[in-house]
Amino acid sequence: MGTGTARYVLLLAARALLVSALLAAFFTAAAAEYVRPPPGRIILTEHTEPAAHPQQVHVSAVGANHMRVSWVTDDKRVPSVVEYGRSSRNYTASATGEHTSYRYFLYTSGKIHHVKIGPLEPGTVYYYRCGMAGREFSLRTPPAALPIELVLVGDLGQTEWTASTLAHVGKADHDMVLVPGDLSYADAQQPLWDTFGRFVQRHASRRPWMATQGNHEVEAPPIPSSSPPPPFAAYGARWPAPHEESGSPSSLYYSFEAAGGAVHVAMLGSYAPFGAGSDQYRWLARDLAGVDRRATPWVVVLLHAPWYNTNAAHQGEGEAMREAMERLLFDARVDVVFAGHVHAYERFTRVYNNEANPCGPVYITIGDGGNREGLAFDFEKNHKLAPLSVTREASFGHGRLRVVNATTAHWAWHRNADAESVVRDEIWLDSLAANAACRQQQGGPAAVDPWNDEL
Ligand SMILES: [Fe+2]
């Protein structure tokens, strides 16, 4: 950790202490039944092994039966090779991938390796070793059919509260983790991307983590420069998305199938152009039009800045994207839309165009992973959308979407309460593909022509 990073971390710690004291004083007086936690201390996870050994290992799904293994080495001579097999230390296959690195002003990243392994059997544990050095890891591939359990964690950061959230995630089985943006909170302090990668490795090396970008991934240069690093320099190099597999021209938005195609997950980019005529809009229209709801009863969307939000934090920031794209989602009968950005939990009823609609998606904000900025406490009682908001609470936690079968899924939000993970909100969801009334409306006179949408 350099001197600049140390000073930065000290500043953060001082600010966190001040905020903690103010919040503790306020909430001791205001909350009788549950004292909500202040922002947690940042945890800086070091790499203590040799430079050739892998660090920041995480895996992500690529296509139906492949996984991408990503890791970093300080030693630039390490080959981008993954050996793997179905029993420990008995590697029956190996794959060679690619590597990259990036510069951000005075910072130069380590060697960032990405290796696609497969074809793999579904629902199977594989043991693997990265770069022919260091310890063995293991992962489990997602199932090829329902049921599937998807964990949702947004706005993670790397604090004591993030550690609590991930500990709760790890205590119960799951198949995949979906992150609706804001991962490291490095905010241009690039070593914090490295500490974040080490921080999540324990979880992200075992199950596929699929992410989309948040505003903290943009990392606009903090100082003027004649040759600034491009937006998403760190995020793009470290957390690549399988966008080409879904015909997307950008890693900032893409889609993939889960559970053998029973669940279609579209990851949208709140910080990529989204207006009618944009590449993202055209891709999304094509992507949703290509979903056969008889074969794919569930469609889930993730994005960062929520379209529906009654919290004072980030109020209205998702509105332009909602106005541009909401009709595409509604006409496709998207079942659930998950967002982050607001550091709290909020679940709406089924909504379309600011009104309750039984054929619209359920909107859920799950930006409460535990980052250093703390919670967004100020839900507006008289917000015009308040009657549509079913549950809202400023607490850290995570969510679980268990898609049981073609018609039924269960959503639960787990609040971090000390050492326990407490279910504070849950709902059974019926697939809109199984809703005859909604199916009849789909493609009717009101349906949008995705190529000529004047919204
Ligand atoms: Fe955000």
- Cα Rg, the chain, nearest whole Å: 21
Report the C-alpha gap between 326 and 328 in whole angstroms: 5
CA of 71 from ligand 1 middle (Å) equals 25
List, as one string, the DSSP characters of 383-444: -TTGGGEEEEE---EEEEEEE-SSSEEEEEEEEEETTEEEEEEEEEEE-GGG-HHHHHHTTS
CA of 367 from ligand 1 middle (Å) equals 8
CA of 330 from ligand 1 middle (Å) equals 24
Alpha carbon distances (Å) from 395 to 90, 180, 283: 44, 17, 35
pLDDT digits 0-9 by tens, 96-150: 999 999 999 999 999 999 999 999 999 999 999 999 999 999 999 999 999 999 9
Q: Indicate the SS3 state at residue 243.
A: coil
CA angle 12, 193, 85 (to 5 degrees): 140
pLDDT digits 0-9 by tens, 358-383: 999 999 999 999 988 989 999 999 99
Amino acid at 269: G
- pLDDT (average), residues 327-336: 98
Report the C-alpha gap between 116 and 68 in whole angstroms: 4
CA of 284 from ligand 1 middle (Å) equals 22
Determine if the peptide bond prior to 147 is cis (ω within 30°).
yes
* 314 is an active site residue: yes
Alpha carbon distances (Å) from 320 to 68, 401, 455: 34, 27, 11
CA of 306 from ligand 1 middle (Å) equals 10
**Predicted local confidence at residue 212, as pLDDT:** 98
Query: Based on the number of CB atoms within 10 Å of its own CB, is 32 exposed (0-12), middle (13-18) or buried (19 or more)?
Result: exposed
**Predicted local confidence at residue 33, as pLDDT:** 55
pLDDT digits 0-9 by tens, 240-294: 999 999 999 999 999 999 999 999 999 999 999 999 999 999 999 999 999 999 9
Contact 329, 268 (CB under 8 A): no
What pTM was estimated for this model as a whole? 0.90
pLDDT digits 0-9 by tens, 297-316: 999 999 999 999 999 999 99
CA of 298 from ligand 1 middle (Å) equals 26
Query: Based on the number of CB atoms within 10 Å of its own CB, is 339 exposed (0-12), middle (13-18) or buried (19 or more)?
Result: buried
Contact 182, 211 (CB under 8 A): no
Catalytic residue among 314, 341, 343, 398: 314
CB count within 10 Å of CB 247 equals 12
